[in-house]
Structure 1
Amino acid sequence: MIDSFSQHYHQRTKYDPETISSKSQGLDWSQQPSSYKEYKIGTSYDLKPYLQATKQDVESQWWQRLSHFLLCSYGLTARIQTMGDPMYLRAAPSAGGLYPAEIYLVARGNSLLPAGLYNYQAKDHTLIHFWASDVWQNIQVACFNHPALAIAELSLITTAVFYRSAWRYQDRAYRRIFLDTGHLLGNIELAGAINGFRPYFVGGFIDRQIDELLYLNTEEEGVVTVIPIVDLDMHPDLSIPAFPSALPSRINLEYPELPDGQLLKYCHQMTEISQFRQLPANVNAIDPVELGDKYNFPFCLKISTATSPISWQDDVPLAGLEDTILKRRSTRAYTGGALMLEELNAILDFTYHPQHYIEQGLDPNPDYFDLGLIETFIAVSGVNGLEEGCYYYAPKAQELRQIRFKNFRQELHYLCLGQELGRDAGAVIFHTADLNMAVQKYGDRAYRYLHLDAGHLGQRLNLAAIRLDVGVSGIAGFFDDRVNEVLGIPADEAVLYITTLGRPA
C-alpha cells in the first residue's frame, strides 16, 4: 500500500534510537527566531487598561471582555530572567517556549472596532489595525460560508510561523506547531466561556485565499484555523446550523523524494484545501469503533472513572478557571510520589466530559475537529487505588480497561528520550490515532486535525491538573514505534502526544 504524503511525513519524522543522533543538530543561537511579529504601520488599540477597569457602561464592558479573552487565550503571564533578554511565558504552553502561533483578528466593523485586519501583539497586549478595508465577505467565501460567519462580528485566525519551531525541532516541528495551536484552541474555548463569547473552530477553508487576505509570506507562515467569535451577550439563545469543523483535502499519493529539511513546508502544502470537498459518502463505514466499545474484553480489569466535576467557581463564576489559565506552568520535575485515583478521575472528567460542566457556565459541546479519531491510553506507574500497567480509556463508558500488567517506569524514561518526567510520573497519557483511517476520511489534512485535537485535549488535561495541584507536562518528543511495542498499543495507532502527570518536585 502506498502511503499518502502525511503518512510519509509521519514515518520520516519518527524518532528512533538508532537514527536520532544523526538527525540532531546543534542549535545556532545567533539564529534564534523572535516569537513576536511586529507591524511598523497601523493603529494601536491598547487593551491593558481594560484588565483592571471597573466601568459598567456597555462599551467599557465589551472592551473588558475582549481584553480578558485575548489575555487568557495567548497573553503573557510570566517573565523569566535569562543571561540575555528575558523570556516571557504565555497562557498557552509551547514546546521549547518558541510560540509559533500568531493570532489575527478580523472585524466585520461596528462602532467599537472598525472593519479590517488586526494582529494581536501579545508582548504589549495591544491590537494593531494594519488593514482598514472590509474583508469579511472574503473570509466567508474562503470558509465555504460557514454559518457562524453569518452571525459573528469578529473572527480570530491563527497562523503558524514555521521557522520559530523548525529552528529547534527541524522537520518534526510541524507536529509540534499543531499541538501548540491545539493548546491555544483549548484556551480560546474556555476563555470564550469565561467572557461571554462562543468560538466556532473552522478547519476547512481555502488556505491560499486566507493567506493572501492576511498578506502572509507563505514561505514563512501559513493559516491554521479560522475561528468566528459569536458574542453571547448579543445572541444568548443562538443556534448555529450544523456544519462540519473539518473538511477533507486531497490524498496525495505521488510526491517527490525530499531531503531532510524540506518535509515541513511541503507537508503544509500537501494538506491545503483548494476547493470544497464533501466528506466521503461511506463516512460511517470508516468511522472508528463507537467510543466506549474498544478493548471491551470480558476478562480485563475495568475501573470506573465516574466522579464529581472539578469546581471552577471561586468568588465569582469561573474565576477559578481564569486564575488557573493564567498561573498554569509546565512541571519540570516530579518526586515519583503516587497520585490518587480520585485525582486522575477528576482530570479525565474535565478533559473528556464537558457536558458535566454546563451548570458552571462552560460549553457542554465545544468544537473539536473529530474526536472520534483519537484514542487514549494511560500507563500507570503510581496511582493509589489502581494497579500498575497500561490502560485503555473509554470515555463513553467512563472506565479504564487494563490491557497490560507491568510497571513501566524505566521503559517510559527511555521512550521519552531519557526525560525524567516520564520515569517519575504517576501516570502518562498517550493520545493516538489510526492515521490510515483518518486519511481516508479527511485526506492529508487529517494530520492537522489530529494534532490540533490532541493539543486541545492536552490543554484541558493541563488545566485540570493545575487546579488540583497535580504536576503536568506535555511531551512531543518520543521514540514513536517503541511506544507501541512497549505498551502493547496496536502498530497502526500513530502516537500523537504524551502528557505526564505526577507529584511536582
Structure 2
Amino acid sequence: MPELRHSIAHHYHERTKYDPDTIASKNQGLDWSKQPVPFKEYKIGTVFDLKPYIQESSLDSEDNTDTQWWRRLSRLLFCSYGLTARMPSMGSAVFLRSAPSAGGLYPAEIYIVSRGTPLLPAGLYNYQSRTHSLLQFWENNVWQTLQEACFWHPALESTQLAIVITAVFYRSAWRYEDRAYRRIFLDTGHLLGNIELSAATCDFRPHLIGGFVDQAVNDMLYIDPEQEGATAVLPIADLLDIKQNLPTGRTALPSATETEYPKIPDGELLKYIHTVTQILPGTTGKLNLPEIKQNKSIEDKYKFPFCQKISTLTTQIDWGDKLDKLSSTILKRRSTRAYSGDDLTLDELKSLLDFTYQPQHYIDQELDISPDYFDLNLIQTFIATSGVEGLEAGCYYYAPASQELRQIRFKNFRRELHFLCLGQDLGRDASAVIFHTADLKASVSQYGDRVYRYLHMDAGHLGQKLNLAAVRLNIGVSGIGGFFDDKVNEVLGIPQDEAVLYITTIGRPM
C-alpha cells in the first residue's frame, strides 16, 4: 500500500526547518548589491498628504468633522506602519517602522480601497510610509470587485474603506530564501496587531478577512502575482457612524489540500506554496472540506493532570487617558538587542499574558474585547522560564481559557535555549521565552493548506501584543523567527505534532 503523502503545507514546513547539521551549508552570505528597497513607488498618481494631520497629538481639538476624520485616518496608518526612526547603516540609512519586521526588510504593503466618500474619492491608494501619504493610483470604484473577491463578506456591506495587505516576496526571500514565507506572515501578523490596537485609539474597527479569491484581489490592485500577493483584507468600520458598526463574519475560509505536488527545487518552494494555497476563482472557499463553524471562544487543549498550576489573574495594564499611552508605546517600540540576565517578576509575566490573551479584561479602557484572529484555538502557547521571581524554572503550558500556567518540565533551560535560538544570546539571557505552536496536521485537516498563512499571522499578531505590553512595562522583548525546529519539541518536552511557529523572548534590557 503506497504511503500517504503529506500536504504541501507540511512538506514546506519540514523542508524549511533549521537543523544544526545542515544550517552552515545553507548560509551562503548575502549579495548586498541585490538588497531590495522596502518601499513601493508609483510614477503617476494623486498624492493625499497625511503629515499635516499627524502633527497634533490629540484628536480632541476643536477642528471640524472633516479635519478630525483626516486626523484619525492619519493616526491609524502612522501607528500601524509609519516610519518611526532613521538608523545609519553602511553609509546609508535604514528606516524603522512601527511594526517589527525580520531583518528590517518590511515585506508588507498597505493599500486602501475607498468606496467613495466626500473626503476620499473612490479608488485605490497605496500607503507611502516614507512620506506618510496616500497615493491614489486608480480612480474608479472597485468596491463591488472587492466584495465579489471576498464572497460578499458582511463586513463589506456598509463600510466605506478597506485595508488590503500584500507581501512583496523578494524583500524577505533575499535574505531568508524559502523560509521567508514563514517570516512574511509573521510580519503580517505584527502589522495586524498594530492595526487592531491603533484602530481602537481613533474610533475605527478592523474586520479581518483571510478567505478571498487571491487572483481577483491581485488583479484589482494591478500587482504582479509573481512578485507580490494579497495576504489579508480588512474592512475598516468607522465607529462614529452607527451604520458601519457591523457584526463580524467568517475570518478564515479553507483552501484545497495539495498532496500531488512535484519535486520542488530549493529556491522555488516559497513561490509554489503561495500559489497552491490560493482560493481559486469559481470556488466558494468551501471546496470539498466540511463546513467550519468558527468558535471565537478559546479552549484549552492540554490538561496535563497532576501538574503544578499557577493562576495568571492580575490587574490590567494602564494604557492611559483615552489610550494615549498605547499610541506612544506603539511608536516607541523597539526590539531588544541584549538582556542583562536579571529576573522578571511573576506579576510582570502575568500582565503580559493578560493583555495578549484576555482582551475582555480591557473593556473599561475601551479596547476591542473580541478582536479578530483567524482561529486562536489552533495556536498553543508554551513558556520556558529561567529567571522569573516566584516561578520555578521550567517549561509551562499557558491555558488561556483557565487563565493559568501548567508546569510540564522542571529545569533551567538557559543553555538549551541559547542553542535552540541559533546561538543568539537573547535566548540564553532572557528571563522567559514564549513559544507559539500548532498541530499542523490537524490544522490542515480543518482549513486546507491555506491554514499555514493563518497560523503564522495569528502567531505574529499575538507576538506583537506581547511586544507592546512589554514595552509599556519597560521590559525588554524580541521576536525570533530562526530556531532549530525539532530541537524545541525535544528540549521542552512538548508534543512532536506541535509545529513551532514563533518565539518571543522577554527579559530585563541591558
TM-score, normalised via structure 1 length: 0.97
For the 8 Å contact 1:331–1:473, the answer to whether it is kept is yes
Give distance in 2, aligned partners of 1:104 and 1:65.
17
For the 8 Å contact 1:182–1:454, the answer to whether it is kept is yes
Give the deviation of 1:503 after TM superposition.
Answer: 0.4
Matched, 1:498 2:508: no
Give distance in 2, aligned partners of 1:257 and 1:356.
49
Report matched runs for 1:221-260 at 5 Å. 221-235=228-242, 238-240=245-247, 242-260=248-266
The SS at the match of 2:405 is: strand
2:70 alignment partner in structure 1: 63
Matched, 1:296 2:304: yes
2:49 alignment partner in structure 1: 46
Give the deviation of 1:270 after TM superposition.
Answer: 1.1
The SS at the match of 1:110 is: coil
Give distance in 2, aligned partners of 1:40 and 1:55.
37
Q: For 1:389, which of 390, 394, 415 is the aligned residue? A: 394
Q: For 1:7, which of 3, 6, 10 is the aligned residue? A: 10
Report matched runs for 1:63-462 at 5 Å. 63-235=70-242, 238-240=245-247, 242-274=248-280, 275-278=283-286, 280-281=289-290, 283=292, 291-292=299-300, 294-297=302-305, 299-313=306-320, 316-462=321-467
Give distance in 2, aligned partners of 1:391 and 1:278.
36
Give the deviation of 1:56 after TM superposition.
Answer: 1.4
The SS at the match of 1:145 is: coil
**Letter of the 1:423 counterpart:** R
The SS at the match of 2:43 is: coil
Give distance in 2, aligned partners of 1:359 and 1:218.
44
Give the deviation of 1:256 after TM superposition.
Answer: 0.8
**Letter of the 1:6 counterpart:** A
Give the deviation of 1:278 after TM superposition.
Answer: 2.9
For the 8 Å contact 1:288–1:373, the answer to whether it is kept is no
For the 8 Å contact 1:162–1:221, the answer to whether it is kept is yes
The SS at the match of 2:242 is: coil
For the 8 Å contact 1:295–1:392, the answer to whether it is kept is no
For the 8 Å contact 1:474–1:499, the answer to whether it is kept is yes
For the 8 Å contact 2:298–2:376, the answer to whether it is kept is no
**Letter of the 1:294 counterpart:** Y
Give distance in 1, aligned partners of 2:203 and 2:148.
27
Give distance in 2, aligned partners of 1:462 and 1:158.
21
Q: For 2:470, which of 431, 447, 465 is the aligned residue? A: 465
Unaligned 5+ segments in structure 2 are none
Give distance in 1, aligned partners of 2:243 and 2:79.
22
For the 8 Å contact 1:119–1:128, the answer to whether it is kept is yes
Matched, 1:479 2:504: no
Give the deviation of 1:25 after TM superposition.
Answer: 1.8
| Residues matched between the structures, number | 500
Give the deviation of 1:111 after TM superposition.
Answer: 1.1
1:35 alignment partner in structure 2: 38
For the 8 Å contact 2:211–2:285, the answer to whether it is kept is no
Give distance in 2, aligned partners of 1:230 and 1:485.
45
Give distance in 2, aligned partners of 1:324 and 1:32.
30
The SS at the match of 1:330 is: coil
Give distance in 1, aligned partners of 2:22 and 2:145.
46
Give distance in 2, aligned partners of 1:290 and 1:398.
11
TM-score, normalised via structure 2 length: 0.96
Structure 1 residues 381 and 272, CA gap change in structure 2 (3 angstroms): same
For the 8 Å contact 1:5–1:252, the answer to whether it is kept is yes
For the 8 Å contact 2:205–2:236, the answer to whether it is kept is yes
Give the deviation of 1:50 after TM superposition.
Answer: 0.4
Give distance in 1, aligned partners of 2:296 and 2:269.
29
Give the deviation of 1:237 after TM superposition.
Answer: 8.2
Identity percentage of aligned residues:
63
Structure 1 residues 434 and 229, CA gap change in structure 2 (3 angstroms): same
**Letter of the 2:45 counterpart:** G
Give the deviation of 1:104 after TM superposition.
Answer: 0.4
**Letter of the 1:50 counterpart:** Y
**Letter of the 1:270 counterpart:** V
Give the deviation of 1:408 after TM superposition.
Answer: 0.3
Give the deviation of 1:221 after TM superposition.
Answer: 0.3
Give the deviation of 1:239 after TM superposition.
Answer: 3.6
**Letter of the 2:255 counterpart:** S
The SS at the match of 1:202 is: coil
For the 8 Å contact 1:332–1:421, the answer to whether it is kept is yes
Greater shift, 495-504 or 54-63, is seen at 54-63
**Letter of the 1:401 counterpart:** R
Give distance in 1, aligned partners of 2:425 and 2:507.
11
The SS at the match of 1:401 is: strand
Give distance in 2, aligned partners of 1:428 and 1:358.
28
- Render the CA deviation track for 1:294-351: whole Å, top value 9, x for unaligned: 1331x211111000110101xx310000000000000000001100000000000000
**Letter of the 1:296 counterpart:** F
For the 8 Å contact 1:14–1:480, the answer to whether it is kept is yes
Give distance in 2, aligned partners of 1:293 and 1:205.
29
Give distance in 1, aligned partners of 2:347 and 2:29.
43
Moved over 4 A (4+): 286-290
The SS at the match of 2:384 is: strand
**Letter of the 1:228 counterpart:** P
